[in-house]
Amino acid sequence: MKIVPKNKGVFTFSRLHSPVLEVDLGETLLLETEDAVGGQVKDESTPLEKLDWSRVNKATGPIYIRGVKSGDTLVVDILDIEVSSTGVILVVPGAGALGKKEFKPRAKIVRIKDGFAHFDGIRLRIRPMVGTIGVAPEGDDYPTGVPYKHGGNLDCVEICRGARLYLPVFIDGALFAAGDLHAIQEDGELCVSSIEVEGKILLRFEVIKDARPEWPIVEYNDHFSILVADEDLDRAVEIATEEAVGALMRANNWSFEEAYMFSSIGVRVAVNQVVDPKKGVRVIIPKEIVSIQHLLKREG
């Protein structure tokens, strides 16, 4: 098993980055990660206005994966996630679903013990997840804090232990990176952060040749989720619905009208987060209705 330490990281997803490591398909990889604020919040008295925001959302990597070419799908198995014994959650004026209200910047240190996060006497069972995960994009660089077709700051609660993530590959080797672990987050991530933690991600990579998804896809439990992001939440839902209807048409040889009808009774939409520069949603389709091949598009 190869290990990448947390000091090897990037703040953009880019075709121009040099890889910090090369791995083979099927090889296990351990990524060590910083928390989303770069370890800058040591205690609750840390003045948030003095944080270096250029150090936020670091992703460990990038990793060059041998045998993966442009036009393929990178398959990422999340084998395990380990988080530290403390995390931090922030509220910052101007950020989050209620960012237009007047309130003070504040940090809270959250203790994590025996599988629970402790918030002012309330215990919450942790559900570790990966907030930022992706590959080099097709064109311009993307900050790690922005979600899009290449991945990025997806903040999807389903990117957790036991999940399989399908990412479109735009450059040979993919240049994969990940970070921004959350001990727990709910859909929406309303206040702009969740419990941000240092940790470790155990991964393994596979490939699907000569086909790729339009948007990242998560396979988790009994369903697939297509992850879509846009500056406008309504537009993100529209794009995600169109992707789902297209998959239903391919899987069942349905007309548009039939697939669109079925989307109201067999497909769900959930909001990943409403706080990033691009808002994120996911459209959820049971595996008994579609296969991964119906969700991919063949090159050419």
Q: Of 154, 176, 209, which marks where a domain is finished?
A: 209
For residue range 186-238, what is the model confidence (pLDDT) as tens digits?
Answer: 999 999 999 999 999 999 999 999 999 999 999 999 999 999 999 999 999 99
CA–CA distance, 283 with 89 (Å, rounded to integer): 27
Query: Domain limits at 263?
Result: 217-298
Residue where a domain terminates, one of 145, 175, 209: 209
User: Residue 54's pLDDT is what?
Assistant: 85
- Indicate if 162 and 192 belong to the same structural domain: yes
Residue type, 227: L
Quickly state the pLDDT bin for 61 (edges 50, 70, 90).
very high
> Both 59 and 182 in a single domain?
yes
Asked if the model's pLDDT at residue 300 lies above 70, the reply is: no
Torsion of CA 290, 291, 292, 293, to 10 degrees: -100
Burial class (CB in 10 A: 0-12, 13-18, 19+), 208: middle
Same domain, 37 and 185: yes
Q: Rounded mean pLDDT of 72-95? A: 97
Helix (H, G, I), strand (E, B) or coil at 57: coil
pLDDT at 48: 87
Do residues 166 and 115 both lie within one domain? Answer: yes
Laid out side by side, the sheet with 223-230 consists of 2-4, 28-33, 199-208, 73-83, 164-168, 217-220, 223-230, 279-286, 268-273
Number of domains in the chain: 2
The CATH number given to whatever domain includes residue 241 is 3.10.28.20
